[in-house]
Amino acid sequence: MSQLTPRVRDAMQCDAPHSGECAHAAAGHQFTAIQARVTSATSRKWRDGIVTSVWSNGWISVDLIEDDSTVWLWNHIDRSDTILRGAPVAVHTLYNALAIGRERLSVLAAPTD
């Protein structure tokens, strides 16, 4: 994972990191109704992948199937007990979303080198 930019560090500030009650609408926090609509409307932007690691600090690494690249995603809640290594997922690269089955999470993607 590359060094975090100030934008990524600022977005990772959350006053409710262990609950679903966060009021932030920034990437990595709440999955909003608008986000649900735009990710549905742009279905070609979903990229299939496999979860390779999940950390208690919110970071999730996903190996993308189409090009063997790895993306690092962050969500404000510790998902290490609910997202399993090896799970098939989809990443919406345009609107910062992670799909695990029917569940949708807002994620913040770390910048790529």
Please indicate, yes or no, if residue 57 is contained in any of the structural domains. Answer: yes
Please indicate, yes or no, if residue 3 is contained in any of the structural domains. Answer: no
* CATH assignment of the domain containing 103: 2.40.50
What are the CA-CA distances from residue 85 to residues 36, 62, 73 (Å)? Answer: 25, 9, 14
Please indicate, yes or no, if residue 35 is contained in any of the structural domains. Answer: yes
Q: Which pLDDT value is given to residue 21? A: 59
Q: Which pLDDT value is given to residue 64? A: 97
Please indicate, yes or no, if residue 17 is contained in any of the structural domains. Answer: no
Q: What is the pLDDT along the chain (113 residues), one digit of tens a residue?
A: 445 555 555 555 565 545 455 666 678 888 989 999 999 999 999 999 999 999 999 999 999 999 989 999 999 999 999 999 999 999 998 999 999 999 999 999 988 76
Enter the pTM of the model: 0.79
Supply the range of the domain harboring residue 86. Answer: 26-109
Please indicate, yes or no, if residue 4 is contained in any of the structural domains. Answer: no
Our count of domains for the chain comes to 1
